[in-house]
Each structure stands twice: as C-alpha cells, then as structure tokens.
Amino acid sequence: MTADFQKILNDINQKDLAPVYFVDGEESYFIDLITHLFKSAILAPHDTDFNLIELYGREVNWADVVNACRRFPMFSEKQVVILHDAAQLKELDNLISYLENPMASTILLIEHRFKKIDGRGKMNKVVKARSVYFTSEKVKDMEMPKWIRDFGKTKNWTIGQAEAETIASFLGNDLQKIVNELDKIRLNAPDEKVLSAELIKKYIGASRDYNIFDLPNLVMSKDKEKLYRMASYFINNPKSAPMPLLIGTFYGTFHRQYLGYFQPVNAYNKPKVPLYQLEEAILLLAAYSRKAVGINATISDASLIKELIGKLELIFI
C-alpha cells in the first residue's frame, strides 16, 4: 500500500503497525526520521535489547534478514527488524517470499535510501501490494519556502514568506541542514513566536543589510540606487559573495519565477518579469557558472561579479 509520511507517523503513534514497511527515495531526512522512530517509539525501552535487530545491507545476506524476521520475540509480543541500506543487499529479490508471508510478531522496516526500487521488477509489485510503501522525495526548490513555513508551525513559529525564501536561498534544499539551523535558533530564542529577519541574520548569518539573497529581486526591480549600492559592496568584498553561491542564488529565484509560468499561479509564485527575460538570464548564469571555475575566464571574482550583475541588469531593463 502506497502511503504518505503522515500515515507512517500515525501508525507509530497509534501502535497500529503493519508487518512490513518499505521506504525508499532520494531525501534522507524523512527516511532518517522514520528509522529513528522505529528504533525508539515502538518497543518499550526494556524490550529493545532483545527485540530490536538492526541489519545493514552491505554486511548481511538475504537469508540473514529472513532468519532475523522469522525468530520469535523474547518476553514481548513484537520485535522490530530494521534493514538499513537495502539497496546494497545482494539478491534483494529473495526477500519476496518473506514479504508474501511475513511473521505477525515481526515489524520489518526496509530502508532503501538514495534511490527508488526498480519499478520494472517483481519486487516493486510485491512491495506495493504487501507492505506500507513510502517514497521520500526531494522537496523541489520552488516548494522549499512553503515547506519551511509548514515546519515552522511544528516549532510554534510564524515564518513569513520573505524569511522562508531567505532561508531556502541560503541553505538550499538540504532538509536536515535547515532543520538543524531552525532548531539552533529555537534553542537560542525559545520564547519567540515569529522567526524574524534579525534572528535569521544573528543565528544563520543571512544578513539583511547587504544580503546576497536580495540581489535577484533587486536586479528585476526598478530600484537601481539600492542595486548599485549593494552591487558595489559585493564587488569590493567578493568573499561575501562567492561565485557559486551568487549564481545559485540568482538561479533559485529565476527558476522559481520561470516555473510560475507553468504552475497554478498564487501570490507566492506569480511571475514578476517576462518569460523571455528569465530564459535569457538562466542561459547567462550557465555561462558564468563555467567562468566561475576558470573555463574561458581568468579574471578575478570581483570582476566576474561586476560583469554578471551588469549583464543581468541589461536583461531586465
């Protein structure tokens, strides 16, 4: 049965668990969280020594997994077996016979991280028919601000759209890194109800005075005075705007704007500039990403920053 993340959390919270869970996908954050809960929230603490079995795909064979699952719990109604890194288990398909007839007293978690199970094989069909199946997808760049705002609610925070976009631009789509940084702010500001730009600046380091993450919107705006002032700062302080980060920041903003032309429009993804300008800007970024690593360019980072911002300004005039 294909399930979402919340379904698995509910199963664990209600202690109403299926015999087999199979989780795969590229986003390790959700897989790590599910694995942690299987280790800590199903069995009573005094049962874990005897009834929690952890196996690693690179170290065991399929028979070891089946034998562990078919043993009976000790002094408990249930045991938990976790197969880590199942993608590294040789002859994974040999688990099919167990999945078709699992032990009622065993709760098996198979975590197949970093990639999906092969959709063409029999294992895929059996997994989806005989287990609770969840794919942990990477959060798309354009969805990151919403994810950050939703996560903030779980920490009793209100996170504004601008602040969420700043965090997404600064930290990318590494969910664990984002969670760690937000947890750090919460630890240092336990009573705050709103995640302000000042807190982000103080604890994450995304400055709101000369903030590299404001540059893309300034380039697309008519506020040339502020753009020139900020551009001058970064040209004279190139270490504050390393080219990979600068290019990634511009790309993230332009890409979200670009996708807005092909998605249902709302207040957060409504395109601000014509499509042809976004396409031209993205092509320019590709050229400067090569120059940033020394391909067809031998000039300093300061000169590259000056060139890039100047050419982007011309595109959005």
Does the structure show a pLDDT above 80 at 210? no
- Domain edge (last residue) among 100, 135, 170: 135
Q: What is the per-residue pLDDT for 269?
A: 57
32: left (phi over 0), alpha (psi -120 to 50) or beta: alpha
Q: For residue 146, give the CATH number of its domain.
A: 1.10.8.60
Do 224 and 115 lie in a common domain? Answer: no
Give the pLDDT band of residue 262 (cuts 50, 70, 90): confident
Give the pLDDT band of residue 293 (cuts 50, 70, 90): confident
* Bigger pLDDT: 181 vs 118: 181
Give the pLDDT band of residue 265 (cuts 50, 70, 90): low
Rounded to an integer, the average pLDDT of 122-134 is: 89
CA dihedral (234, 243, 302, 239) in degrees, to 10, reads 60
Q: What is the per-residue pLDDT for 1?
A: 65
Do 32 and 128 lie in a common domain? Answer: yes
Do 119 and 149 lie in a common domain? Answer: no
Which residue range forms the structural domain that includes residue 187?
141-203
Do 270 and 161 lie in a common domain? Answer: no
List pLDDT tens digits, range 248-259: 889 888 988 888
The pair phi, psi for residue 21, each rounded to 5°, is -125, 135
* Bigger pLDDT: 299 vs 7: 7
* Bigger pLDDT: 110 vs 302: 110
Do 130 and 162 lie in a common domain? Answer: no
Q: What is the per-residue pLDDT for 277?
A: 93
Q: What is the per-residue pLDDT for 281?
A: 93
Do 109 and 16 lie in a common domain? Answer: yes
How far apart, in whole angstroms, are the C-alpha atoms of residue 107 and residue 194? 40
Q: For residue 76, give the CATH number of its domain.
A: 3.40.50.300
Do 73 and 153 lie in a common domain? Answer: no
Do 168 and 249 lie in a common domain? Answer: no
Do 170 and 68 lie in a common domain? Answer: no
Q: What is the mean pLDDT of the chain?
A: 86
Domain count, the chain: 3
